[in-house]
Structure 1
């Protein structure tokens, strides 16, 4: 073969290779044939209660356009012998965050902001926010102007550098400032929260670390400013009411107490003790002004499943559109810069083989080993402090809501409910 002919042949081969690669990338993910194992899920719930791993729990599974199963075991209120049921109200804590993200992205669809706009364009208090660089001998903060502005995208993906408070003894000057200002006090409004958070030094330069934070409460304040409505009113009008989520909301009254599950706290010996009433009911039943974007929703598994089904159906449920399909896909795409390596992702790496989108963990590869939670490439999910969990598995056309009220957060329950539903040999998309 001559030199010219050989060169032409190589270029043709290269074009063919590129075309084949594009075809492979465009082919939808394939996964193992699968039906959720409802019997195994029900058996797991019963065993978990019997073993004292939780007081009560339920799971609701939706697949292929219909309910696959519901199962429940144990008590919602052990002291009263009140069973955990479909009608049980639960506090979902951080499973509030995806609801807040959906609310903000509705406003993005309307052109109210750009993802890479500086946050201070809409919340001017953050123009003065500084990053922590050290401490003086007296413990006061040494700060500097961030190398770049915090963007709305940073706020959506936990890369702004915000704190979530010390969670115990203060470790640095930013923690001490948080402790002094107490931005997330239930006595603050979202506007007061934002003004105070802006004074807390950033823990990291924006865009350099994934650091779980009060950023979703900043999202809630953005919703207020951009919509002109109180945050909870906006969510009720634009998400809860259209989706028929009549049992969902932040502020509750005494009538709801009859259906509210008690939160149980694991002791050093493993025993589960009821959380004191004032803590258990705060702030939902205490008449406090704070409506957090990152926590606070009280709901049922059926109500939250309506939200999950909307996401599974790419933004629509029963003919009502909440988000455009492309927006749901955007939220469920990994947005973490590869330069934010595992060492700069805190405990996110423990969630599995994946990254983070907008208020969701996003699975980008199959489970690496049997110790990792079962799941499918392309799924997205989040969970909540009292061991709550939901996930969307588009490949298997499935949504799952797992409800329990156990603190501290127990990831082993999530591992085992996924094993029960998927089976221990499930490897995900391949």
Structure 2
């Protein structure tokens, strides 16, 4: 690390970031502990390590702890997608059925036919979509696909009935694609924003394009070139001692109870399905390596992962007509971020109206989070990247946590480059 003042930040204010987050979220019983890293102007300006990685065993948080990053897997898939685009294997405007022929006849849900027998396959009345699904629709959650856990619509219910599961579908990614090929879309591609298995489908397209398993593509094209040695779809042999335990709110939302014991976790074994939408584990160091590359025009330590022009695409809103998430997402739709002032980029959210977010920030910064309350963002104009790692699922404090993290980080700036 360098002295923060040399990169336009205040050491005292970065220390305040840790103190406030510790007092409010760790001492307050919302988080077991956390790691925060702040990178600016080519240098690591701050690492804050607070609390515990395993409350039951009294193990303090350690800098090389391994975390479940869940939906922070999605931006990794976005980078892999752009690598495939640069290599001429995939186009953002490709029709998805060019890569997955069984998706060509997908229709939009109208209604469901009654089933007379317990094991009778569900039949649907469908209509033609207004246009075919494109790769960019998968990358922006506008494909018409969904998640079964959303529990909002008949299509969500059909996903649950078919057990479309992004972690343990029999037959892996091919098995999931086979399931999705039998189910209707929730809406015509491009017309709405709906959190979905779209990034898992992108993972399938990527693995088909390279003719090897998704995990192997990520290893060869991204993890090894960037030195991300602790990012995998499971915990390698001998590293389980570094794996954090995951928690959820206790009774009445107070305190924490164990959700997944890090020392007895199913993550110790390779998964049935390598889930591009949420299956990776990683460290703060590894994820920051990727963020540093994104903040540095696609290059890190002399390794060019993406061209500067491809990196610029992450700072643009790719929703049709330049619309905001607030205009396209159904009321109450789950998201890893708020909606106001935000669009969607290549597997990440993007800031398109700072005033509407009611938070400090910069046009074109891109970001996302994970189900266990992890978060990151990259602000290219300010040459800033922030990674926050913790492990709590289902906390009501998730969005205020990210609000405070963002406010305290930007408040530590003493110079602005934007």
> What's the counterpart of residue 9 of structure 2?
35
Matching of residues 266-281 of structure 1 within 5 Å:
266-267=249-250, 268-277=252-261, 281=265
Q: Aligned partners of 2:201 and 2:275: how far apart in 1?
A: 9
Alpha-carbon distance in 2 for matches of 1:200, 1:280: 35
CA contact (8 A) 2:8 2:413 kept: no
1:408–1:280 Cα change, 3 Å: farther
Number of aligned positions between the proteins: 393
User: 1:416 is matched with which residue?
Assistant: 404
> Against the structure 1 CA distance between its residues 389 and 124, is the aligned structure 2 distance closer, same or farther, given a 3 Å change threshold?
same
Contact 2:233 2:271 in 1 (8 A): no
Residues in 2 aligned to 1:263 and 1:424: alpha-carbon distance in whole angstroms: 30
Structure 1 CA distance, aligned partners of 2:70 and 2:263? 13
Q: Following superposition of structure 1 onto structure 2, how do residues 63-82 of structure 1 map, counting pairs within 5 Å?
A: 63-82=40-59
CA deviation after TM superposition for structure 1 residue 200, in Å:
1.9
Deviation for aligned residue 1:280: 7.9
Tell me whether 1:175 sits opposite 2:156 in the alignment.
yes
User: Does the Cα contact within 8 Å between 2:343 and 2:351 map onto a contact in 1?
Assistant: yes
Q: What do the CA deviations read for 1:62-90 (whole angstroms, capped 9, x no partner)? A: 11111111011110001111111211111
- Do residues 353 (structure 1) and 325 (structure 2) align? no
What's the counterpart of residue 8 of structure 1? none
Q: Which runs of 5+ in 2 are unaligned?
A: 1-6, 116-121
Deviation at 1:175, TM superposition (A): 2.4
Instruction: Pick from 114, 129, 133 the counterpart of residue 110 of structure 2.
Output: 133
**Match of 1:76, SS?**
strand
Q: Would you say the 8 A contact 1:374–1:424 is kept in 2?
A: no
Alpha carbons of 1:321 and 1:425: their partners in 2 closer, same or farther (altered >3 Å)? closer
The structure whose Rg is larger is 1
Gap change, CA 1:109 and 1:425, over 3 Å in 2: closer
Q: CA RMSD in A?
A: 2.5
Matched, 1:87 2:64: yes
| In structure 2, distance between residues paired with 1:38 and 1:140 | 57
User: Shift of the alpha carbon at 1:224?
Assistant: 0.9
1:144 alignment counterpart: 127
Gaps of 5+ in 1: 1-32
Q: CA deviation at 1:275?
A: 0.6
Q: How do residues 12-411 of structure 1 correspond to structure 2 at under 5 angstroms?
A: 35=9, 37-47=13-23, 48-136=25-113, 141-168=124-151, 171-184=152-165, 185-186=167-168, 187-267=170-250, 268-277=252-261, 281-282=265-266, 284-338=267-321, 340=323, 342-346=326-330, 347=333, 350-368=338-356, 372-408=358-394, 410-411=398-399
Shift of residue 46, structure 1, vs aligned partner: 2.1
Shift of the alpha carbon at 1:194?
1.1
TM-score normalised by length of structure 1? 0.85
Q: Which runs of 4+ in 1 moved over 6 A?
A: none
Distance in 2 between residues matched to 1:89 and 1:367, nearest whole Å? 36
CA shift, 1:176, in A, is 3.1
